[in-house]
Structure 1
């Protein structure tokens, strides 16, 4: 069975939603667009106030079809007591972050039963919430802005029971997201550690095995002109375009943009207790960043073979 559109679907749906609103302005249905743009103006700050997660949306049966297509699993290795807040960073980013979308934005793998008392928030690029209609779909699905303003709001609104999954690092990690790749853009990414220290939220290592296997990605040598173009665009717009492909919608043997049905297993590790430090020093940040890297590497090594990863594969931190 073919899967429904991903929770983090690509540019065609985003473009369609935007064009549709402007095209309606040229028809007798123009009041619909006018009403929506009025709503958009009044609701503009909602992505920076925790979003608007819908329990009804999370529990739709369609997400079970999405889960079963790959299939996608959620593995819990330790309890996450709801008496505190948590900060998780999605690894690896992959092309679509489909494992995290399915496991944390829906109830297809019974998140609320496995982690009772926790409210998940999936933080992603703020620019996505400037796209009409698409922004509302994202928020109903549990996404919110990764901007500091929103993360502070979520973790300050309630001192316990908030679980923030941060989807960042994609611009560079996407270039290394082909099958068999386990490269993480993490060595110089420490903002999530500062966030945890500011709010006294526990850090939790997680890894989605198989996330990089659902698309083939064309990589270029670091000295090539193609790679230099990618890095230049990354500096200019914050996004490094990559060339990827999957299978055809009609045939698994032909080229297309449908993801390959490869198993994805998201493993949630043990929490790392972090004290609240309103003014953390670089030493504080480096200490907990190092603890996190070690915990993530240990999680990968303990579960890689059971998730179909060769024993000689190891994480590479960029």
Structure 2
């Protein structure tokens, strides 16, 4: 199961404001994820012909480009293995099941579970009990797949990093990459299928941003595009933070089942979903959402005010 495509991410600074923010991030970065400040010459050692507008780029050699679908599949296998280990280690018998079932409303789950954690991404706002009750902003994004024909010699370096800029390049191989992503706010289109017209608009938007950093992209050919719908959290004085906590008072139901929400993680979800998932599990097991940082539950007070 291929879960990590390529290792290493390179981020060129593209404006003075961007440069200052990236320098601050590099100074305060985690020891476990090294950030190197390099100039254009060093950046081109990694990716020939790369443009670095301000002669400064930030290289994270230990960062990885993840296949999210396979990561989720591996995460479930890890949960299965942990369940088996704890059941044979004196912690009592435990079972884990994956049930695939479509529902139209949350109340269809009542009487089946003691607790339900709603983590449906953008589709949370489409559940009748939650429509208009969560401060999530929907945004459609389109990602374009490009390939380099075999008769063109200027392939991407075999161990070259992915690139993060106004648009990003996720490298799949010397002749295959993904370019993303567009931002269509207030969209409700969650279909992965992308029309020819939408594909053209996406490529027209993304290509200039990428070619400003990696001009060689003009030699690559567009193959196909895929789309998806994001659920973005609201902006507040602390930044753009996830929505978490018990939502019984929002659903206003009378069953013994308790409902919780876990969403709006945004682009940083891969970094802190494990920690937040653990906090949510502890809160659910103790029926106490005060175990969750107040910054992540404060949205409920605002919605109820």
Q: State TM-score, norm by structure 1.
A: 0.28
Structure richer in strand, relative to its length: 2
1 or 2 for the larger relative contact order (CA 8 Å, sep ≥6)?
Answer: 1
Structure richer in helix, relative to its length: 1
Q: State TM-score, norm by structure 2.
A: 0.29
